[in-house]
Chains A and B, each alone.
Chain A
């Protein structure tokens, strides 16, 4: 080897590297435009219960033995549950299956026009209990653990408050807002002096997904442009592009919200803040959070702009049980539960917490 070849040339290396990236950007950019959206939710499953907007899926076990207590995951009503199952190796569901959990997931279909009359009552006194009954029948186990994400966490908490005598055994909530006075821009935009929720629901029936996704995007209006620029910058990186496309596809695949459910959410939770005040009445019954006595885990995100920590932190103070734990992790509202960092940070903590309580 000649002495000349051993002389480091950082500027030359960098130029070569950037030219190489530019070539790959151009090639991958064309591939990006030509390829269909990536497939998600590929972990084998069976839809075991359907009732209008409700779909209960059972994921086929991947371990030789499973924990005694089955797990029911309740997805937020705004999005598809594919965020729990992005891709092999990036799937919370696959992770839980391999860790030995028997996993059921409540996934929502777009509510039909006739389902505009669905209320919170339908979700927590009919859909979730029906699913639990079904899981009990299939597994032969009375006990059940529930994991709720965002609005799914709220529904799970309300269900738990209405059914303090079981069969719920463990409750884990992800990024679940409780104090709606701390919901920032959502609170400002739904100011009762200007936001006519009655007119909106009476006119539209179900709330269109564009309205919901538009509100989410407006929380960070520069994020979309910055995201596109970052995508261009990273077009040479297959992993980045794949991850971007999956998250983008999931985020744009928003669901309409049942009209009455939306009206009730705005009036009871956003305006009156009844969940935080522990005054929420559902079907004439008090959804008493202080009555919940099962172990509770709340995973919150440090940089959550949708359910900020000021809105989520109230949960620990509202419940009385001794076995309660809040874990704050780096990440945002979605990245705390899905993606490469979630697999390293959140999933092992959930596995550890739930495994000890599932025997």
Chain B
């Protein structure tokens, strides 16, 4: 729809776009300073240390309760992934032995004879 300059919604959209640009520009300027870098990194370092301490605390608590922790689940996930990959390799090997392809339902491969179309030619 053609909307004239008097369209209040168009003005509102322009204002939104202008606000976004100016806010981003202002934030970029602030975040590019060394002060921001130092403060943000200090804050993230502190948060990381707190998180680490909490992780260790919860891990000890779970071990005390004889419950599995995040590391245990990650190890199980890893083992399951290894088993799945192994099954995939065995299936692929069986398929190859049967003279098929890695993917039983794969269509026959087209010939590799394609030439680029002449640019500007009428199709």
Interface residues of A (CB under 8 A from B): 14, 17-18, 46-48, 50-51, 60-61, 63-68, 100, 102, 112-114, 138-139, 141, 184-185, 188-189, 191, 193-196, 199-200, 203-204, 218-223, 225-226, 229-230, 233, 352, 355-356, 358-359
Contact = CB atoms under 8 A, between A and B. Distances in A.
A221 B48 CA distance: 22
B113 to A, nearest CB: 5
25 contacts: A46-B106, A60-B107, A66-B112, A67-B114, A68-B112, A112-B74, A112-B78, A112-B81, A184-B28, A184-B32, A188-B31, A188-B32, A188-B34, A189-B37, A189-B40, A194-B41, A196-B41, A196-B45, A203-B52, A218-B27, A221-B27, A223-B20, A226-B17, A226-B19, A359-B114
Interface in B1-53: 1, 3, 7, 9, 13, 16-17, 19-20, 23-24, 27-28, 31-34, 36-38, 40-42, 45, 48-49, 52
A219 B33 CA distance: 14
Interface centre among B37, B40, B49, B85 (most CB of A within 10 A): B37
Nearest to B119: A352
A333 B119 CA distance: 28
B84 to A, nearest CB: 9
Contacts of B45: 196, 199
A219 B25 CA distance: 10
Residues of B contacting A: mostly: helix
Contacts, number: 120
B102 interface: yes
B16 A229 contact: yes
Contact of A222 (B23, B38, B48): B23
B115 interface: yes
Interface residues of B, number: 48
Interface of B: 1, 3, 7, 9, 13, 16-17, 19-20, 23-24, 27-28, 31-34, 36-38, 40-42, 45, 48-49, 52, 71, 74, 77-78, 81, 85, 88, 102-103, 106-107, 109-117, 119
Contacts of B119: 352
Nearest to A18: B9
B37 A64 contact: no
A222 to B, nearest CB: 4
B101 to A, nearest CB: 8
B46 to A, nearest CB: 11
A18 B8 CA distance: 11
B97 to A, nearest CB: 16
A270 to B, nearest CB: 13
Contacts of A68: 112-114
A61 B109 contact: yes
